[in-house]
Amino acid sequence: MTRLFIFIVSMLLLTGCVQRSILDDIQMVTIIGYDLPEEENEEGLIKGVAVAPQYQADGRVDNSVFVQTAALSKEIRSQYNSESPKPFVSGKLEVALFSKDIAETEGIMELVDTLQRDPSIGSRVFLGISNSDMETLLRTNYGNVDTGTFIHDTLSHNSKHGMLPQTNLHDFLYNYYSEGNDPFLPLVELDEDKVKITGLALFQGDRMVGSIDAKHLFTFKVLHQKFSSNDSFTVKVNEEEHAAIYNIASKRNLNLKKVGSNKIEIHGKVLGVIKEYSGQKLTPAKLKEIERAMEEDIEKRGMDMIEEFQTQNIDPLGIGNAVRSVTRGDFNKEDWRQKYPDMDISFKMNVTVTESGVIE
């Protein structure tokens, strides 16, 4: 009886130690952006822009924007609290954006690290690099939605069904920490009242060193991973004729048998459906022609891209990681870095058009 009494009393007393965060009494940050401050005297500091949606009873969503400058990102957070009526929580963070300036000069790992350390932040948070000014980007009203969800959805559907390769906190950290991989993140830009994905930012370590334009994203995705998408790819068959290929399913294969003699072959395989054709009639011979044109086009773009990567000595395609997986014994990261620019990497495409419409 005494034991039961003590048990109950101590349990009730312990409830005082639990911290409550009632849903409507907290400030949920859905997107956070980091930028370098503009003023001269704030050198070495970081400007953090956080957006917390305010859901109104009538269904409207207002976005409150908080801007603070400090040396550490957690310090920024305590400064946010000083100007907010409700305590800040980070559990509903959807997107973290970094300005191009930060990514190019200081590197982003220091900031990503705090995201990774916070247990209430999931590993599926999207990361991105912003070309536009962070404060303008996040202060823009994107309609009756909260900004975080809006940008998250833009990135999410593009990497699920579109040409954007998958990039979230988990992927970034994997690429960053694994040997023979370099991370990449989507590049976004403000386009009047929308956010546009303009390409891919390429990293060496945690520093941005280059970028890929949006029109080459398809080629990058073919080179990078197996995927299927609903986007289209336009092939220029000759001066007048164009064909659009939809419902693309793609696979890549790395032939690593000749790594010893510094030769790597990448085989891409694409299946697609012709939905649009500007020429007159699609004959089987024409189909072959289209396939060949597409193969050549992708091969050319791919080879340009690979050569670019080699000159910059970055490996976003994860070739190093693939080589490591077939290397017996210790894989030396430094050796690989030395060897990589001189590797003979070739790229072969195989395009198959499976359907070309009902009317033949």
Partner 1 sequence: MVNKMFRWLKKNRSPEKLKNLPELIRNLQDSGDFLHYESKQQDSSFFIYYFKTLVHETELNDHILPYLVEKPLKTLEDIPERVPIPGVILSSDLKEICEKVMRGFVIIRLNANATECALIPSQVKKARAVTQPEVEFTVVGSKEAFVESLDTNLHLIRKRLPVHELKAYEVTVGKLTNTKVVVLYLDGIANVENVNTVKQRLEDINVDQIVDNSVIMQLITDDKNSPFPQLIDTERPDRATSVLCEGKVVVLSDGSPQALIGPTTLVEFFSAFEDYFVNWIVASSARLIRIFAILFSILVTPVYVATLTYHYELIPKDLLSTLVSSRQRIPLPPILEAIFLELSIELLREAGARLPTKVGQTIGIVGGIVIGTASVEAGLTSNVLLIIVALSALASFTTPVYRMSNTIRLTRFPFLLFAHLWGLLGVTICFCFLIAHLLKLKSLGRPFLEPLYPLRVQDLKDAIIRLPLKFQNKRPIHLQSEDTVRFKTVTEKEKNDFHE
C-alpha 338/C-alpha 341 separation (Å) is 7
Nearer to partner 1, 119 or 260 (CB): 119
- Asked if residue 7 binds partner 1 (CB under 8 A), the reply is no
**Other residues' Cβ atoms within 10 Å of the Cβ of residue 297:** 18
**Shortest distance in whole angstroms from residue 194 CB to partner 1:** 20
Does residue 58 interact with partner 1 by CB under 8 A? Answer: yes
With respect to partner 1, which residue has the nearer C-beta, 120 or 325?
A: 120
Binding residue (CB under 8 A) for partner 1 from 35, 146, 289, 291:
146
Query: CB-wise, 91 or 341, nearer to partner 1?
Result: 91
Distance of CA 253 to the CA centre of its chain: 22
- Packing angle, helices 109-117 and 169-177, rounded to 10: 120
Instruction: State the CB neighbour count (10 A cutoff) for residue 277.
Output: 20
Which one-letter amino acid corresponds to residue 166? Q
Check residue 359 for interaction with partner 1 (CB under 8 A): no
Q: Angle CA(82)–CA(30)–CA(84) in degrees, nearest 5?
A: 15
Q: Any contact of residue 87 with partner 1 (CB under 8 A)?
A: no
Shortest CA distance to 50 belongs to which of 143, 115, 109? 115
**Given 9, 87, 91, 257, the residue binding partner 1 (CB under 8 A):** 91
163 contacts 218 by C-beta, under 8 angstroms = yes
Q: Is 28 in the site for partner 1 (CB under 8 A)?
A: yes
Q: Does 23 bind partner 1 (CB under 8 A)?
A: yes
**In this structure, how many other beta carbons lie within 10 angstroms of the beta carbon of residue 31?**
29
Instruction: Determine, following the binding rule CB under 8 A, whether residue 324 of this chain makes contact with partner 1.
Output: no
Here's the x/- map for partner 1, 220-259, by CB under 8 A: it reads as ----------------------------------------
Query: How far apart are the C-alpha atoms of 272 and 279, rounded to whole Å?
Result: 18
3-state secondary structure of 168: coil
Whichever of 86 and 292 has its CB closer to partner 1, that residue is 86
- 120 sits near partner 1 (criterion: CB under 8 A): yes
The region of 19-27, 104-112, 289-297, 326-334 touching partner 1 under the rule CB under 8 A is 19-27
**Residue from 44, 59, 85, 260 binding partner 1 (CB under 8 A):** 59
Kindly give the residue spans of alpha helices, DSSP state H, lying in the chain.
2-14, 73-82, 100-105, 109-117, 134-139, 147-160, 169-177, 217-224, 284-312, 319-326, 333-339
Instruction: Report the length, in residues, of the chain.
Output: 360
Which of 33, 66, 88, 94 touches partner 1 by CB under 8 A? 94
Beta strand ranges found along 7-143 (DSSP E): 27-28, 31-35, 46-55, 61-70, 88-89, 95-99, 126-130
Longest dimension (CA), the chain: 93
Q: Does 1 bind partner 1 (CB under 8 A)?
A: no
With respect to partner 1, which residue has the nearer C-beta, 94 or 289?
94
In whole angstroms, give the CA distance from residue 212 to residue 198: 9
What's the closest the beta carbon of residue 65 comes to partner 1, in angstroms? 18
Helix (H, G, I), strand (E, B) or coil at 324: helix
Q: Of the two residues 20 and 328, which places its CB atom closer to partner 1 in the complex? A: 20
- State the nearest-atom distance from the C-beta of 138 to partner 1, in Å: 17
Contact 177, 167 (CB under 8 A): no
**CB closer to partner 1, 64 vs 69:** 64
Token output for 36: 């370098």
Q: Which is nearer to partner 1, 145 or 209 (CB)?
A: 145
Task: Provide the minimum distance between the beta carbon of 29 and partner 1 in the complex, in angstroms, as a whole number.
Answer: 12
Nearer to partner 1 by Cβ, of 168 and 219: the residue is: 168
Q: Which of 3, 20, 281, 328 binds partner 1 (CB under 8 A)?
A: 20
Among 15, 238, 261, 280, binds partner 1 (CB under 8 A): 15
List residues binding partner 1 (CB under 8 A).
11-12, 15, 18, 20-24, 26, 28, 30, 53, 55-59, 61, 89, 91-92, 94, 120, 122, 146, 149, 152
